[in-house]
Structure 1
Amino acid sequence: MAGNQETTSIEDLLNKNLSGVELDEATRILYGKKLEKLNLSEEAHKLAESADFELAGYIFEAKPEQTRAARKVRIGAIQNKIVAPTTESVATQRDALHSRIGVLIEAAALSGVNIVCMQETWHMPFAFCTRERLPWTEFAESAENGPTTLFCKQLAKKFGIVIISPILERDENEVIWNTAVVISHTGEVIGKTRKNHIPRVGDFNESTYYMESTLGHRVFETAFGKIAINICYGRHHPQNWMMFALNGADIIFNPSATVGGLSEPIWPIEARNAAIANHVYTVAINRVGTESFPYEFTSGDGKPAHKEFGHFYGSSYVAAPDGSRSPGLSRIRDGVLVAEVDLNACRQVKDSWGFRMTQRLDLYAKELQEFIKPDYKQNILKEL
């Protein structure tokens, strides 16, 4: 289905069919607890209404401590459709997205956001399904001084916020990467990280364009906390989340582009489970809309040739270390999700559940070291 035929959100279905105690109980079971809504500025709401996008905000609390002050941070997650058709020029498509995202970032700033993250390769259509080189590789740009980074640097400095900008990167050696650029609230680039795991399933033909990262699991210390970026497909690998957490991340963002027919049933689970397992906040951000391309393409799943990749179902959300999560944004509309979190919750849940003390990294490190050897024998016992 596409367009108006798509379900708006699971939350809309619940609200239409349940009320009162039943709705509260369903919310508790599905989301862990009912979160208090953030009182966002009237100016931000007016901008959302005039520019036709969803704006929602929620509060994640932590318990007061005697020896540490609260460490409250506002996180912003942005999901959006492409603006110009894929038949337009590269510059026209990119500039239209810059203009649109500028409005959404302004709304986030008006909502008091400290750190904002966009979806995977937000400055272009998700053209990797086509396996065509031109014109799509022309969207690749420098992570340090390309047009999208320069655009985000201006906004970061103007609003005093950290911006995580996932782009298609072309490095100085003409190698292309799937990259997230982290820009400080001062407007300077702190650094970049790259996608560790690349899908090879159905229409996801991304290995045609770029290779797996060699940068490891970088964590960025910002003025508002330590953050990491687990790009898209990496959310399917628990070890990926774990290594970002072991390197000190308080918040792990997961900018993604995934379609309903492939992953929607597991979308609400993975980032939330990662928050629980690693005692961190996670931010799951998914592209929204259906994108059509000029030429038909085929994939490895036996379907007839097609021009549309499928419906990107949005549904961006934030999950907390205690397993609670926010409602998701719409499945069909652009949106800005704001979450006020207290980073003290990360250590509080560590102390409560003790996963860091009980996870036995030494045991797994030893066994994994053996497993990667070519002569490894599985540790299976059987009756003689």
Structure 2
Amino acid sequence: MNTFRIAVCQLKVGESKEENIKNAVQKIEEASQNGADLVVLPEIFNGPYSTKSFYNYAEEYPGKTSVAMMDVAKRCKIHLVAGSISEKENEKLYNTSYFFNDKGELIGKHRKMHLFDIDIEDGQYFKESDSLTPGEEFSVFDTKFGKVGLGICFDIRFPEYFRLLSNMGSKLIILPAAFNMTTGPAHWEISVRMRAIDNQVYFVGACPARNEDAEYISYANSRISDPWGNIIAKAGNNEEIIYADIDLNKVDSLRKQLPLTSNLRKDLYEVKNKK
């Protein structure tokens, strides 16, 4: 399936897990009614983004949030990248994105590999490693849309990760994220565009809406880039749904015209997955 419609639901996230789930379901239904084949939610969409909340909102799989996402994916007959939530397994917490098909079945999941540990002078301080464990898998999944790669937020800072997703066959990469008000204005859009350009893929960055009352304020501004680096859909600061029509034939065409991936000097350097 080389042509399809993708939707990003830029959700406003509050304190109530039940209300956050209900809102996500409603927006997914709306996106489906507007022709979306694949719907994407933001990072940590079922509760506040904070180290304390990671513990308080954590769920084992399957849990309240993932079951609701399975149900709506099956009911609406859409594929769903269910943003990310705090996942509990064997007493460890992970920042995990679940990917469901149109039958409500789990295609796979991505656990955030690069944890968000920063201390910006006169800016943002945050340490995910205070509560979360990093993932170790390079996440590429076979779907009816072809191979789709997943990352989460801070993963975007590490181009080697996305080179591997591209080398593994991804033509579309999806990134639930929540850049903040320090790094967002400086680096968010250019990062989305560059990961699309240097891997010649469609790149989707899905963020929460801005909530000025939250402890952690999301920059919002969800973006979808084509493989040339053009922004083909963009959100502002508020809750909304954005759409883009994807044509993966354009990936193949561009890679022939501008053969970046095939001209890699693998005789001199190579990015490898040790696993």
Query: Which has the larger helix fraction?
Result: 1
1:161-310 alignment, distance < 5 Å: 161-165=78-82, 166-171=84-89, 173-202=90-119, 203-215=125-137, 217-290=138-211, 292=213, 308-309=215-216
TM-score (normalizing by structure 2): 0.91
Distance 1:291 1:177, change over 3 A: farther
1:1-384 aligned at under 5 Å gives the runs: 71-83=2-14, 86=15, 93-128=16-51, 132=52, 136-143=54-61, 145-165=62-82, 166-171=84-89, 173-202=90-119, 203-215=125-137, 217-290=138-211, 292=213, 308-309=215-216, 311-331=217-237, 333-365=238-270
Which blocks of at least 5 consecutive residues in structure 1 are unaligned?
A: 1-69, 87-92, 294-307, 369-384
Deviation at 1:327, TM superposition (A): 4.4
Structure 1 residue 262, shift from structure 2 partner: 2.5
Question: For residues 226 and 327 of structure 1, what CA distance do their matches in structure 2 show?
Answer: 21
State the secondary structure of the residue aligned to 1:312. Answer: coil
Q: Tell me if structure 1 keeps the 8 A contact 2:40–2:176.
A: yes
Secondary structure of the equivalent of 1:210? coil
Identity within the alignment, %: 27
> What is the deviation of 1:313?
2.2
Structure 2 spans left out of the alignment, 5+ residues: 120-124
Following superposition, the deviation at residue 136 of structure 1 comes to 4.2
Give the deviation of 1:180 after TM superposition.
Answer: 0.6
- The size of the alignment, in residue pairs, is 267
Query: Under a length normalisation based on structure 1, what TM-score does the superposition of the two structures give?
Result: 0.66
Q: 1:82 to 1:258 in 2, by over 3 A?
A: same
User: Is the CA contact (8 Å cut-off) linking 1:287 and 1:314 kept in structure 2?
Assistant: yes
Q: CA deviation at 1:99?
A: 1.0
Which protein shows a greater Rg? 1
Deviations 1:103-143 (A, max 9, x none): 11011101111111111111111112xxx4xx641311123
Any idea what SS the aligned residue of 2:126 has?
coil
The 8 Å contact of residues 114 and 224 in structure 1, kept in 2 or not, is answered as no
The offset of 1:198, in angstroms, is: 0.9
- Structure 1 residue identity aligned to 2:26: V
1:196 is paired with a residue whose SS is coil
RMSD: 1.9
Q: Which runs of 4+ in 1 moved over 3 A?
A: none
